[in-house]
């Protein structure tokens, strides 16, 4: 395919995409296929000679679409949102065409510099403390990671490195493996599974801090303080705490204004994972949820979840970039370049797990400019309002209960009664394939999560979903003994 | 921006991309900007109200392009290639629109299943041993990682987990940290810096195996065997060897037919990193370079380097998927789904560091079908021929020497003489900004790497590059004393 044919096929693809997104409501949100469905639909080997483009395009409907879970359907309420906006898609097309691999400043200066400035723009929208802004002389700054899992891991590795260095500074003879085996990290028992996984990868002990329903599933300062004291008494070295703002099960918020000072006093690295909730902090009314950020060493959220920047774009800031870089720096000759030691430039490969990286900041640039701060705020507020609307519907029905405070765009609810009845209800909902939800477990209770996800969800979809849920609940309650 | 406007803007973007790629030769391949150039060109904060799309597009030329290193210019010979093809870009557009996050089978069955089948297609093109093919009943199979760095790390973590499990099976009382502190991994001193970094991340000792110019910079079986014996005698536990096929400095190939049996006998996980060279193994004439693959536990190369599938698409295979999954598995309720325990399905989140993942296999599907195996082979062969052509030009000039065997699309060469003269020559070449190269260090010698990169490079570009290099060499040799 040459450029001339690409002009034609590209424009057809633009129409195909617009058609797909304009008519997505008419598709079954959750696919009705059995595992292994796809293999039999296509050949067992790649063709020797090229297929025609027409055949490839025909196969999108024949092979792919029947097995797609439509995350951007207004009937999709599962997991958390993943962003999808037209400006982001346009920017991503451009990014693909430029196709640079921005591992160092020299590998494509624009790729690095736009990222630093876009992270500053976003940091300012969030009213982050000045320490996190790169500016022209800052010691901190931002980086785009692929996912929150990577941000959590990168922060943990930087913390591990800093802890080992601090201990070696006062006790240079101590063997490094002896230190690592004593390190202990903490996170909430409500934290995302990727936090525990980061501990496994880094080979350090990770303890879960218990939370209570009565505390709204938030980690309390007193609990962390007690665990630290016990662990220190047992000869362990506390070094990392991952706080969560907006947990995956119920969108709970750890008390970072209490937790931060404890971490600072104990020289424990505090990382804040606000993967979902972070986007909302651009609205003044939600910004108080981030109070305490001044105590954190690093902060991350997924602009690719709820800020209209398509995956992947997990935005992370650190107060001291030297802490991050120090944990990873490697400089073989084939990656050296003239400006490297100037102090003015950033080589983002030292900030992340992979070496290569796409030109992802273009997506932020297009989205921020095409929506403006107000447009982004409107979008967040609309989702929160729809969640509140759904909450009212649930609260108005005596058979149901709300299982956790509705702070942003997630509603946790259940039928009053057994886990069994709720599991049956959820199964019935998903098997109906009209809407799609996933569950969570809160204090041993099986709970349904209703997460506002699609950009195009409106009040009528919420009401339709609720009507369906109540109708199925009625059926389930008639069938199952109470 | 709504779908109607996207139809218009998307088509404009398709033309912009086609224009960019059709006329890329006329741009300066390596940008002439100083660090910090971009910040002053754009506002310090995001706009409150939306900008117009016209303004955004105008800024592509004003702000971005001056700072882009044009990796797809036929005058770009630095690093290694990164793929860029029209079919891959079309597929990526579609992937962005579907915008699913395929962490589990249920999160979008098509995303998972197409990946498994595409990895089988590619595995068959490479004539991988049956063990690596998923099929319908295989124990192995493939996964798309973001980068080779991640593949190396994932393999290392799986190896660490397997080693600890094996030792605990025979000595259940032994503390796990005591095992980890004794583990030792190996790779060539020519291996990519990301291999050493993987060791740092996983917190295990990583030893570099010395190579010699006389052995063509390949790791020899005898050297590995000796190091293993010495380390075992010292109480260490060898557990992982990362072999490289096609090293970054000189495209050297470790002797895996010798190394593999040693690893197997010692129960050492052998991972093969063929990041660049791997794509060439689809040609029968280059496939012998992969002989010995049957001894490997895992194998990886970057289809996003040299197989026309745009970044990111780092293709990795394992013989036993349970080894990989075992190292990572976490199953919170919000990620559970009905078919999970059926054994028929794949949840790729257990195969990688991040949780989220794009629908990347669409790019493979489009590229394999639109090129056909023959088209892909033609493309590889053309690059190798052009490298050979450049090699002949160098060899015909008595002032120059070839520094390593030219096996694929990389030519390592230098002026006979001091490192200083070669450093000056390279600086002169890059400052000229007509072509772009990066150096490497081979046996203490400063060497210029000429890597065939762009899809559109032709013989005339090679000859033009050589003319420029010889002209600058003349200048340098006249200025510098011999």
Q: Would you state the pLDDT for residue B341?
A: 58
Residue A69 has its nearest CB partner, among B89, B108, B368, at: B108
Note whether B124 contacts A45, CB cutoff 8 Å: yes
CB spacing of A17 vs B10 below 8 angstroms: yes
Instruction: Map residue A252 onto helix, strand or coil.
Output: coil
Residue A330 has pLDDT above 90, yes or no: no
Q: What is the mean pLDDT of residues B422-447?
A: 97
Say yes or no for a CB contact (<8 Å) between B64 and A362. yes
B103/chain A closest Cα distance in angstroms: 11
Asked if A101 and A477 touch (Cβ cutoff 8 Å), the reply is no
Q: Do B68 and A148 touch (CB under 8 A)?
A: no
Q: Which of B18, B50, B355 sits opposite A6 (nearest CB)?
A: B18
For chain A, the residue count is: 482
Task: Tell me whether residues A147 and B334 touch, CB distance under 8 A.
Answer: no
Average pLDDT across chain B, whole number: 95
Is residue B248's pLDDT more than 90? yes
The separation between the first and the last C-alpha atoms of chain A, rounded to the nearest angstrom, is 64
- The fraction of chain A above a pLDDT of 70, given in percent, is 98
The predicted pLDDT at position A240 comes to: 98
pLDDT at B141: 95
Q: Would you state the pLDDT for residue A177? A: 76
B482 pLDDT exceeds 70? no
CB-based contact B312 A356, cutoff 8 Å = yes
Q: How many residues belong to chain B?
A: 482
pLDDT-derived band of residue B327, with 50, 70 and 90 as boundaries?
A: confident
What are the Cα distances from residue A108, in Å, to A64, A279, A345, B202?
A: 35, 28, 12, 30
pLDDT at B328: 76
Set of chain B residues whose Cβ sits within 8 Å of the Cβ of A69: 100, 106-109
Nearest-CA distance from B253 to chain A in Å?
A: 18
Number of Cβ atoms within 10 Å of the Cβ of A374: 12
The interface predicted TM-score (ipTM) is: 0.96
Query: How far off is chain B from A298, nearest CA to CA, in Å?
Result: 18
Q: How far is CA A59 from CA A52, A212, B136, in A?
A: 11, 50, 22
In the structure, what pLDDT confidence band is assigned to residue B72 with cuts at 50, 70 and 90? very high
Distance CA B274, CA B247 (A): 8
- Residue from B102, B203, B326 to probe the interface with A (highest A Cβ count within 10 Å): B203
**Nearest by CB to A117, which of B42, B72, B362?**
B42
The pLDDT tens digits of the residues spanning B130-169 come to: 999 999 989 999 999 999 999 999 999 999 999 999 999 9
Size of interface A-B (CB pairs under 8 A): 451
* Closest Cα in chain B, distance from residue A262 (Å): 27
Range of weakest confidence among A5-9, A40-44, A252-256, B166-170: B166-170
Average pLDDT, chain A: 95
Between the CA atoms of B27, B29, B32 and B34, what dihedral angle is there, to the nearest 10 degrees?
130
Which positions ≥6 away from A230 have C-beta within 8 Å? none
B332 pLDDT higher than 80: no
Look at residue B339 in the predicted model and tell me its pLDDT: 72
Kindly list the residues from chain B whose CB atom is less than 8 angstroms away from the CB atom of residue A334.
79, 248-249, 438-440, 449
CB contact under 8 A, B64 and A366: no
Tens digits of residue pLDDT in B335-372 = 777 776 566 778 999 999 999 999 999 999 999 999 99
What letter would DSSP give residue A219? Answer: P
CA separation for the pair A355, B145 (Å, rounded): 12
Q: How many CA atoms lie within 13 A of B102 on its CB side?
A: 30
What percent of chain B is modeled with pLDDT above 70? Answer: 98
Q: With bands split at pLDDT 50, 70 and 90, how would you rate the model's confidence at A332? A: confident
Distance CA A199, CA B367 (A): 38
Residues of A whose CB is below 8 A from B178: 181
Task: Tell whether the model's pLDDT for residue A406 goes beyond 80.
Answer: yes
Q: Is the pLDDT of residue A337 over 80?
A: no
pLDDT of residue A480: 78
Structure tokens given for B119: 């990895």
Our CA angle for B441, B447, B450, nearest 5°, is 120
Report the C-alpha gap between B194 and A134 in whole angstroms: 26
Mean pLDDT, to the nearest integer, of B42-71?
A: 98
pLDDT at A384 over 70: yes
Residue A305 pLDDT exceeds 90: yes
- B360 CA to chain A: closest CA distance, Å? 12
Nearest-by-CA chain B residue for A247:
B334
Task: Look at residue B481 and tell me whether its pLDDT is greater than 80.
Answer: no
Model pTM? Answer: 0.97
Tell me: pLDDT of B330 over 70.
Answer: no
Inter-chain touch B7–A16, beta carbons under 8 Å: no
The confidence score (pLDDT) of residue B163 equals 94
Interface probe for A, chosen from B21, B35, B161, B439 (most Cβ of A below 10 Å), is B35
CA torsion sign for A226, A229, A233, A236 is positive
pLDDT of residue A345: 79
* In the predicted structure, residue B297 carries a pLDDT above the cut 80: yes
Tell me the nearest-neighbour CA distance from B257 into chain A, angstroms: 27
A482 pLDDT higher than 70: no
The number of C-alpha atoms within 13 Å of A20 and in the hemisphere containing its C-beta is 24
Neighbours of B169 (CB within 10 A): 8
pLDDT at A272 over 70: yes
Q: For residue A111, what pLDDT is reported?
A: 97
For B332, which of A53, A178, A193 is closest by C-beta distance? A193
- Residue to mutate among A37, A93, A119, A339, with most B CBs inside 10 A, is A93
Give chain A positions within 8 Å (CB) of B18: 3-4, 6-7, 10
Q: How many other CB atoms are there within 10 angstroms of residue A130's CB atom?
A: 12
| A17 CB burial (10 A radius; 0-12, 13-18, 19+) | buried
Residues of A in contact with B146 (CB under 8 A): 146, 354, 356
Helical pair B221-233 and B256-265, crossing angle rounded to 10 deg: 20
Which whole number is the average pLDDT over B65-88? 98
Residue of A nearest to B61 (CA): A110
A422 Cα to chain B: minimum distance (Å): 14
| pLDDT exceeds cutoff 90 at B329 | no
B51/A372 CB distance under 8 A: yes
Q: Residue B13: its chain A contacts at CB < 8 A? A: 14, 90, 93-94
Chosen from B22, B24, B51, B69 to mutate, greatest number of chain A CBs within 10 A: B69
**Which positions in chain A touch B85 (Cβ < 8 Å)?**
1
Nearest chain A residue to B96 by CA distance is A89
C-beta atoms of B64 and A375 within 8 A: no
From chain A, the residues in CB contact with B93 under 8 A are: 10, 13-14, 17, 89, 92-93, 96
Tell me which of A31, A69, A200 to substitute to probe the interface with B (most B C-beta atoms closer than 10 Å). A69
Tokens of A346: 């950033």
> Long-range contacts for B397-400 (Cβ within 8 Å, ≥24 apart)?
B397/B470, B399/B473, B399/B477, B400/B473
Structure-block tokens of residue A378: 């409107």
Of A14, A48, A355, the CB nearest to B373: A48
B122 to chain A nearest CA, in Å? 8
- Closest chain A C-alpha to B114 CA, distance in angstroms: 7
Lowest mean pLDDT of A161-170, A326-335, B144-153, name the range.
A326-335
């Amino acid at each position: 395919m040459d450029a001339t044919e690409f002009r034609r096929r590209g424009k057809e693809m633009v129409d195909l995409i617009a058609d797909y997104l304009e008519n997505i409501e008419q598709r079954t949100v959750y696919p009705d296929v059995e595992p292994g469905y796809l293999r039999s639909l296509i050949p067992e080997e790649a063709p020797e000679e090229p297929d025609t483009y027409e055949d490839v395009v025909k196969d999108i409907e024949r092979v792919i679409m029947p097995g797609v879970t439509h995350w951007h359907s207004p009937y999709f309420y599962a997991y958390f949102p993943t962003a999808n906006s037209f400006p982001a898609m346009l920017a991503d097309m451009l990014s693909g065409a430029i196709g640079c691999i921005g591992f160092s400043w020299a590998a494509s200066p624009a790729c690095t510099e736009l990222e630093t400035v876009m992270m500053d723009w976003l940091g300012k929208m969030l009213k982050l403390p000045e320490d996190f802004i790169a500016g022209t002389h800052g010691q901190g700054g931002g980086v785009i990671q692929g996912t929150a899992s990577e941000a959590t891991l990168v922060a943990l590795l930087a913390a591990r490195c800093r802890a080992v260095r601090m201990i070696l500074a006062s006790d240079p003879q101590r063997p490094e493996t002896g230190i690592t085996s004593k390190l202990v990290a903490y996170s909430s028992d409500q934290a995302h599974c990727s936090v525990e996984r980061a501990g496994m990868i880094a080979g350090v002990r990770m303890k879960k801090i218990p939370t209570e329903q009565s505390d709204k599933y938030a980690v309390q300062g007193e609990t962390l303080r007690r665990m630290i004291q016990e662990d220190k008494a047992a000869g362990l070295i506390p070094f990392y705490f991952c706080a969560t703002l907006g947990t995956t099960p119920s969108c709970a918020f750890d008390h970072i204004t209490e937790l931060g000072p404890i971490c600072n006093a104990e020289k424990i690295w505090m990382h804040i994972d606000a993967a979902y909730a972070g986007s909302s902090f651009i609205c003044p009314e939600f910004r108080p949820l981030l109070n305490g950020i001044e105590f954190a060493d690093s902060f991350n959220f997924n602009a690719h979840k709820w800020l209209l920047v398509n995956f992947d774009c997990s935005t992370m800031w650190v107060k001291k970039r030297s802490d991050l870089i120090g944990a990873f720096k490697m400089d073989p000759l084939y990656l050296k370049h003239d400006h490297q030691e100037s102090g003015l430039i950033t080589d983002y490969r030292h900030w992340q797990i992979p070496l290569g990286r796409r030109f992802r900041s273009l997506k932020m640039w297009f989205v921020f400019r095409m929506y403006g701060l107000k447009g982004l705020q409107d979008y967040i507020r609309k989702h929160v309002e729809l969640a509140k609307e759904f909450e009212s519907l649930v609260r108005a029905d005596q058979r149901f209960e709300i299982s956790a405070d509705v702070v942003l765009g997630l509603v946790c609810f259940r039928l009053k009664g057994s886990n069994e009845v709720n599991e049956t209800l959820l199964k019935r909902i998903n098997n109906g394939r009209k809407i799609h939800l996933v569950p969570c477990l809160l204090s041993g209770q099986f709970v349904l999560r209703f997460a506002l996800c699609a950009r195009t969800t409106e009040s009528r979809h919420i009401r339709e979903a609720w009507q369906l849920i109540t109708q199925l609940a009625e059926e389930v309650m008639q069938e199952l003994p109470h």
